[in-house]
Chains A and B, each alone.
Chain A
Amino acid sequence: MAPAAPRSGDAIFASVERVNAELFTLTYGAIVRQLLTDLEEVEEVNKQLDQMGYNIGIRLIDEFLAKSNVSRCVDFKETAEVIAKVGFKMFLGVTASVTNWDADGTCCSIVLEDNPLVDFVELPDTCQGLYYCNILSGVIRGSLEMVSMKTEVTWIRDMLRGDDAYELQVKLLKQVPEEYPYKDDE
């Protein structure tokens, strides 16, 4: 029996269980609000959001692989395409696009036109350094680490700060192949 072909993001998005978008947005907003109250420092909150995203990412990758049936991506370009087209579509219901490839193919930008996390959100003046969607950068970093790619993900453009779109820069630091974990003499 031939292995199943990878499913498109739309097909999977239609078939998984979905939560109400507003519930999701408001829950996320409440989380960020609570973090700000608890930690008070904007930098700390950014770090904490990234860490939370990382923890989510390491589990999310298995769900993504199981539902979408994609086979191993040959290179980083394909990986970025798959994240933008299938991944974002499957989990958030939005399609992202990949732009700005650099010369050796290790760094790209993922652009999101709309972002369900930031509906109804405005940043007050006291929180200007906050990356509200930092959880997304953690999620991408966590999932890629579980498929042996060490990456660094940062926000380039953020609509809450006045830009016109959301742009994440994903930079591949290195590919870490699997090693035999046991020592030979044990």
Chain B
Amino acid sequence: MQFFGGSEISPSPPVPTTTGNNAHMMYVFNRNGVCLLYREWNRPLHTLNPQQDHKLMFGLLFSLKSLTAKMDPTSADKGNLGVPQLPGQGCSFHSFRTNTYKLSFMETPSGIKIILVTHPRTGDLREPLKYIYNLYVEYVAKNPLYTPGTSIR
């Protein structure tokens, strides 16, 4: 599956780059934490083995989601921190940025989470993430040979 091979991605504003290949890594998780897809294009530093890396990423996002929902100043009713939330309920964060990378995240009500790690000056990636979700639907959900919950080849 080659979506970042060229710069053809999406209807949203163009990503600022010279070569067109802007992403570092991509993860797709399902609601049970199973990493369905992991692709890397530019990752100089590997610190963990893949299993731990996936768990770390999923755990990070799960906690961030909980935390952001709890700290939401506009929502009226909040449970205690750590109470499990329905996917998509409450506010959900969509990206964070450090000085070396930007991580963009999208979650669907069905629990599919798509994560893209890119160059820090990348613009808002919500449209491309939706586009990736549409591709997921077309090729994965509709594929009769794919068992839901296993990783994508």
Contacts and interface: CB of A to CB of B under 8 A. Distances in A.
Contacts of A62: 108, 110, 112, 133, 136-137, 141
Contacts of B62: 178, 180
A72 B13 CA distance: 26
A72 B59 contact: no
Given A66-B134, A180-B62, 4 more contacts: A1-B13, A62-B108, A178-B86, A186-B55
Interface string B61-86: 01000000000000000000001111
Residue with the greatest number of chain A CB neighbours at <10 A, chosen from B13, B133, B137: B137
A147 B32 CA distance: 12
Interface residues of B, number: 32
Interface residues of A, number: 25
A65 B109 contact: yes
16 contacts: A1-B12, A61-B110, A62-B108, A62-B112, A62-B136, A62-B141, A66-B137, A71-B88, A72-B87, A146-B111, A147-B87, A177-B84, A177-B86, A178-B85, A181-B32, A182-B58
| A contact patch SS | loop
Interface of B: 12-13, 31-33, 55, 58-59, 62, 83-89, 108-112, 124, 126-127, 130, 133-134, 136-137, 141-142, 148
Interface of A: 1, 3, 58-63, 65-67, 71-73, 146-148, 175, 177-182, 186
A15 B148 CA distance: 26
A146 to B, nearest CB: 5
